[in-house]
Amino acid sequence: MTVSTVRSILHVDMDAFYASVEVLQNPELVGKPVIVGGSAERGVVASCSYEARAYGVRSAMSSFQAKRLCPDAIWVAGNHGLYGEYSEKVHECFHRVTPIVEGIALDEAFLDVTGSHRLLGTADNIAIDLRADVLRTTGLRCSVGIATCKMLAKLGSEAAKPAPPGRPAKQTKPGSVMVAEGVLRVLAGSELAFLHAHPIEALWGVGPATKTRLDRYGIQTVGDLAALPLDSVVRALGNSNGHHLHQLAQAIDDRPVQPDRGVKSVGHEETFSTDRRDIAGLAVDARMADAVSNRMREAKVVGRTITLKIKFADFRQITRAKSIPTSTMSGIRIAEVARQLVNEAELVDLMQASGVRLLGVSVSSLQPFSSEDKTVEPEIATGAEVQLDLFGESDPHVKPTHSANNAQSPPNPNDAAFQAAIQAVREKFGDHAVAPASLATTAGLRVKRRGDTQWGPSAPSVAND
């Protein structure tokens, strides 16, 4: 006989997180429509206050559209570093409740509180106390959904969100109860009543493409999908996605709350303020690689698959990837492989012909950095001390003689010491104190860092050499 425990899952979602942090920093913004994001021509809305939402502004909306809807909004560029600090405080509150916390983003997480009841009371009490703790600790409000599975908890927190000012208060959906302000519980045994009333796009994993496919079958709500035979769903959405979404539509979701999910890739990409054709003058691969390398050092990971992403002026997007024999976190090595990918003749032709809107570099096939690991570039692992020119021509990685088979080229003999030195200088003097020599020729050129605005194109001076 098996004994099954009914799980208590919380989904906690901060209310208008970035915008609320900005209001906390600047009390003059209280009660005003605030939009965090790139206000430039190609920017988007990252977050907005509830006052801005009353005008119809939503996150991920283009800045152009947001300005049209709310011309009087106050635009804030955003400060990712600051949001990270607040996020840490919020997560400390989460960990006071349970060690089983799965962070989804800076502003939301799943908490499995099944084992916390004896110590902290019912899930309702835990959620109410947690919400108060977050408010007391950070000054920020959050919404909490309580359910027996992750999907329903997430839908619950969404339903618990406040309505924008001037809009009618939300009606509590069937199968749920509002236990307190900002806390909604999906009633055990009434999950289907709650779930089936939702529009189909509310299901986690249903985006525009899947919605379009389901539209052909007349599927508008989760209930419609649940009523469709499995083989029809599989025919419409494919085997994996079909089975998965059909299960979710029956409120079957036994995915555990997974704390400490390791990072799978680290990347950096930038949209230019104008489309670029002067490929030779971009020199962006070094900047991108430097930014990626920086973050890999912070995360203490190395990786061996380098992916280049190009978005053309017509929004066509391609990716090109290459795996190298040994893992690396060296910006020079990453740039070298990225350059190989860019320099493939047909790609250069394409870039020049079509114009490039966005360029990005990422590293995957990650593993934790260990000096003992033989699959890590040996010089990173051992830190052999050999004098090299900083980013100079003598760097074996950038010699064109290796271009035919760069994956096999000898690694930088000073990489570990070199990376450590860069890190030390940056910690002491700031991120911009050291940069690749190829960037030094570009006056005022600096790569975007964590903490800089992320929601718009680089300034023209950055994109243009």
From candidates 91, 141, 277, 295, binder to DNA by CB under 7 A: 295
Backbone angles phi, psi at 54, to 5 degrees: -60, -25
Contact 303, 322 (CB under 8 A): no
Q: Give Cα separations from 151 to 66, 148, 195, 257 (angstroms).
A: 30, 9, 9, 11
Considering the complex, what minimum distance in angstroms separates the CB of residue 454 from DNA? 4
Kindly identify the residues of this chain, within the stretch 129-148, that bind DNA according to CB under 7 A. none
Least separation in angstroms between CB 93 and DNA: 17
Rounded to a whole number of angstroms, the minimum distance from the CB of residue 269 to DNA is 4
Catalytic residue (choose from 22, 51, 102, 108): 108
3-state DSSP call for residue 273?
Answer: strand
Nearest to DNA of 34, 106 (CB atom): 106
Structure token pair of residue 375: 């699959």
Q: Which residue, 116 or 311, has its beta carbon nearer to DNA?
A: 311
Binding mask 264-293 for DNA (x = CB under 7 A): xxxxxxxx-------------------x--
Q: Angle between the 331-343 and 284-299 helix axes, to the nearest 10 degrees?
A: 140
> Which residues, numbered 405-444, are part of the site for DNA (CB under 7 A)?
none
Q: Tell me how many helices (H) and strands (E) the chain has.
A: 20, 13
φ, ψ for residue 320, nearest 5 deg? -135, 130
Among positions 141, 170, 198, 322, the unique one binding DNA when judged by CB under 7 A: 322
Q: Does 22 bind DNA (CB under 7 A)?
A: no
Query: Which residue in the set 263, 386, 425, 433 belongs to the binding site for DNA (CB under 7 A)?
Result: 263
Assess whether 344 carries a catalytic annotation.
no
Among 122, 190, 323, 367, binds DNA (CB under 7 A): 323
3-state secondary structure of 320: strand
Please list, in sequence order, all residues whose beta carbon lies within 8 angstroms of the beta carbon of residue 328, skipping any fewer than 6 positions away.
302, 303, 304, 334, 376, 377, 380, 411, 415
Q: Which is nearer to DNA, 129 or 373 (CB)?
A: 373
Q: How far apart are CA 387 and CA 421, in angstroms?
A: 12
Q: Which of 77, 120, 321, 434 binds DNA (CB under 7 A)?
A: 321
Site residues (CB under 7 A) for DNA, limited to 98-127: 104-108
DSSP letter, residue 32: S
CA distance 436 to 417: 16
Task: Rule CB under 7 A: choose which of 317, 371, 375, 394 binds DNA.
Answer: 317
Give 413's Cβ-side CA count (13 Å radius). Answer: 8
- Of 60-68, 119-127, 167-175, 386-394, the segment contacting DNA by CB under 7 A is 60-68
Q: Which of residues 183-212 bind DNA (CB under 7 A)?
A: 201, 203-211
Dist. CA 292–CA 266, nearest whole Å: 6
The binding site for DNA (CB under 7 A) comprises 38, 41-44, 46, 60, 62, 64-65, 104-108, 154, 201, 203-211, 238-241, 261, 263-271, 291, 295, 305, 307, 315, 317-323, 357-358, 360, 362, 364-365, 448, 454-458
> Which residues are marked as active site?
108
